[in-house]
Structure 1
């Protein structure tokens, strides 16, 4: 990674999530999670959290199976976009340019070494809330919804990968990412890595897929305002019949308070707070966790449940 590559990707913009249960998934994200619908096109519904400044945070698309289709990243400038595209093409992983869509200008599509699809873009529409949801505070994109969890923003994506390290190398060399933390097993294999593009401690995560499959999703995560809102969300999920996989609890890695659920289409969704820690040190050194350290469980002693290592989307046929 050249020094100029760091900070050329600004942040995670939005994701497109596939669901075989489009109506039930839409009810989950709007009525339970509190996202707002802002557009529709074909089989896709565009949704947004109240404090993401862009047009949408999530594209929910009806499909024959579950999983993630595209992860979109915004660059710091038009020039940064051109430089990152050149680096991606040099790596041989480019797909090509695409016309813009709701709120987003022209984007460049590519894949990581594991086959997950991404888009890079620069031109973006800053969202203007309609009168019914206009905020009293003008430095906020939209009023907080009065129903559901009311998540604040899309926080990060955790991908499953057949091999973690090549994807981390690609993020570093082509996109300028840095690795904040990682897990190294006794045999030397990297089992998971957390990557960031700015001072936020992680934006994209890669976790080893125990099935050896490629291109699957572990989870997408939404940030809440407070830890107490995650406790309240657990009750809301219980009342709504949403399957709670594990939590509320605290991660040792990144020190995040968390709750994991499955939305009706089968995709794992995380609520997290505090949102990723700030890494202010310009010379931050990657924190490496050993296999024996991870065997101790989460921060307060809860052991990681088996499904956390085996459940991913799309599901693998037995």
Structure 2
């Protein structure tokens, strides 16, 4: 068991690539209920109503789908400096970059699998314009009142050639902790769920069965309640958004879920993990076996086959 360093505060934002930018923008604004906060060239910055920062999703037009970068906010300038030194020592640094809108100097690096991550401290707190000003002063923005009304970017699930090696990097270099994992009968760790604070997970690494590197399994947005996910399923059905699996409840992490594909092909999870927190300072990693995973999800729904084959960008079978 390793202790949390708390040098990384939380998952901050994701840059998502899409070959269908107009339809993807429609999905995130009209179906999920996110708000556009600005545009830079082929990129649109989007926010959930409970983002205290400028945005949590950048949607960028590209020739294919996938994830370009994942931003993490440090807990202080000193914490940022410590983690940058650790990343450099690990030989995975890419260097300093100017921050995105609302963010200061950002250090770019990659995990062992090649996913780009960005670490920053300086962040401008969002000030809602008059038309989006909330009635409650402790809420950054008024509830959107349309679409699903997602509350926050919750987690990112990366596909990786070796989940364990990447989990070890996030644990040992960034100071996270593994809350749950899957161990195959061979002893191989096939997936790990890691957290930086009291949330039960912020980043997930899952073995990529294609043998590829640097791909995305899904990104997830949290809703206010489980009922919002049931309503989201109806909204997606009415608008011809492809529902892959759910609504249902995961056994691992106990998250209530719905998985859909946004028009660009990226998998998006709508989830409700808001009631499950990790408060124990001496949390012991929960390990799931192959036999336990074969039982399916919490209430018996079998894991759909595409969950093990679909990732972005797509790969051509060998």
TM-score interval for Structure 1 and Structure 2 normalised by the shorter chain: over 0.9
Distance 1:212 1:317 in 2: 11
For 1:238-317, what aligned pairs fall within 5 Å after superposition?
Answer: 238-275=237-274, 277-317=276-316
- Which residue number corresponds to residue 61 of structure 2? 62
**Residues 22-77 of structure 1: CA deviation (Å, up to 9, x unaligned):** 00000000011100001000100000000011000100000000000000000000
Unaligned runs of 5+ in 1: none
Partner of 1:182: 181
The correspondence of residues 30-69 of structure 1 with structure 2, limited to 5 A, is 30-69=29-68
Task: Give matches, 1:119-268, under 5 Å.
Answer: 119-268=118-267
1:98-124 per-residue CA deviation (whole Å, 9 max, x = no partner) reads 012200000000000000000000000
Q: Does 1:85 align with 2:84?
A: yes
Is this contact kept in 2: 1:242–1:262, CA < 8 A? Answer: yes
Give the corresponding residue for 1:115.
114
Report if aligned partners of 1:155, 1:275 keep a CA contact under 8 Å in 2: no
Please state how far the C-alpha of 1:317 moved relative to its aligned partner: 1.9
Tell me the SS of whatever aligns to 2:63: coil
- Shift of the alpha carbon at 1:274? 2.8
Contact 1:109 1:119 in 2 (8 A): yes
TM-score, normalised via structure 2 length: 0.98
Structure-1 separation of matches of 2:5 and 2:297? 31
Structure 1: distance between partners of 2:49 and 2:165: 35
1:275 Cα deviation after fit: 2.9
Q: Provide the alpha-carbon RMSD of the alignment.
A: 1.1
Distance 1:276 1:11, change over 3 A: farther
Equivalents in 1 of 2:273, 2:160: separation in Å?
26
Extract structure 1 runs of 4+ deviating beyond 2 A: none
1:274-298 Cα shifts (integer Å, max 9, x gaps) = 3372111100000000000000000
1:15 maps to what in 2? 14
Instruction: Identify which range, 5-14 or 259-268, moves more after superposition.
Output: 5-14
Q: Does the 8 Å contact 1:152/1:224 carry over to 2?
A: yes
| In 2, Cα distance between equivalents of 1:83 and 1:311 | 37
> 1:204-236: CA deviations, max 9, x gaps?
000110001000000000000000000000000
TM-score (norm 1): 0.98
2 CA distance for matches of 1:201 and 1:6?
15
The 3-state SS of whatever aligns with 1:175 is coil
| Equivalent-residue separation in structure 1 for 2:153 and 2:2 (angstroms) | 28
Q: How many angstroms apart in 2 are the aligned matches of 1:127 and 1:121?
A: 16
Following superposition, the deviation at residue 173 of structure 1 comes to 1.1
Alpha-carbon shift at residue 2 of structure 1 (Å): 8.1
1:314 and 1:99 mapped to 2: Cα distance? 26
Equivalent residues of 1:256, 1:276 under 8 A apart: no
